[in-house]
Amino acid sequence: MENFFVFAGIAIFALMLPILYRIIVGPTAIDRIVAVNVIGTKTTVLLVIIGMIFERVGMFVDFALTYALLNFIGSLAAARFFDRVNPAKSFTKSEIKEQEL
């Protein structure tokens, strides 16, 4: 059974690698925030899997819940910050269309 959890952990970690591309290249800040949030969610699952491997699930679930909460709050803070400093938000729709032409 331990081999299953090791394989699952490696598979989840391997699925994190393509997301790093979106963090580095992402065309907008929101794309990067979502990518970091996805990696944080996968890290939470990895913490529970590590707890299964070491047979200390209770302790690692506490760590996973704390990490998930911090990840959520960080994503909200970043989204709120980028919502406030978005320069396109201060223009009206007609001004944006004139700039595109």
pLDDT single digits (tens) 35-79: 999 999 999 999 999 999 998 999 999 999 999 999 999 988 988
For the entire predicted model, the pTM comes to 0.75
pLDDT single digits (tens) 5-46: 999 999 999 999 999 999 998 888 888 889 999 999 999 999
Q: What are the DSSP calls for the chain, one per residue?
A: -HHHHHHHHHHHHHHHHHHHHHHHH-SSHHHHHHHHHHHHHHHHHHHHHHHHHTT-HHHHHHHHHHHHHHHHHHHHHHHHHHHHS-GGGGS-HHHHHHHH-
